[in-house]
A = this chain, B = another copy of it.
Amino acid sequence: MPSENDTRDLLCRLLQAFYGRNWVSGTGGGICALNDEGHMLLAPTGVHKELVQPDHFFTIDVRDGSVVRPPKDETLRPSECNSIFRAAIVERGAGSVMHSHALSSVLAADLAEDRDHIAIKDLEMLKGIRGVTNRDVHVLPVITNTPREFELTDQVEAALKDERYAAACAILVRDHGAYIWGADPMEVKRHAEVYHFLFEATVARARS
């Protein structure tokens, strides 16, 4: 288990990398990871994500979402992803979750039209998702956006429990983006790179 300082540093570097790919621009998106006490380190809301510093994270109790330790900077507020991130931790055993506002995730969700899911197939990169093979038809839930982010929690929890999506490590939110999780921040990095590739490929093929 890496030290909490290393985890905080890594989360900042990942936010910078995600920003460089245009997945968390305009202060959108977010990230979290469990620390070595089993608490959730949660990035603040409403800030430029590439400028988040290691001491900007909230320490959150995973059971109830309460703030165990706030950052020293009292102007910061915890991300609205709080309850959604905790749902992925509790329901799926995730150790880290990222939230993307990538254009490719919005366009991939558009492909669902009036269905509640999209199917991704015929792509080697599927093997980059834990437990998935390149022969699988990988089905991702597509939920409906809400005025406030925490209002997505019920739909997220239902999707996490839905057996159709047992292999999914991501949930698409229509008009909004995606939540992508993994065992730890580096698996989230891999899953985020793979899922965004899958979104881009599936959108490009749908337009060919």
Contact = CB atoms under 8 A, between A and B. Distances in A.
Contacts of A177: 124
A175 B122 contact: yes
A208 interface: yes
Contacts of A103: 197, 200-201, 204
Contacts of A135: 147
A16 interface: no
B175 A48 contact: no
B175 A123 contact: yes
A138 interface: no
Interface in A178-201: 186, 189-191, 193-194, 197, 200-201
Contacts of A193: 25-27
A128 B128 CA distance: 32
A40 interface: no
A67 interface: no
A128 B27 contact: yes
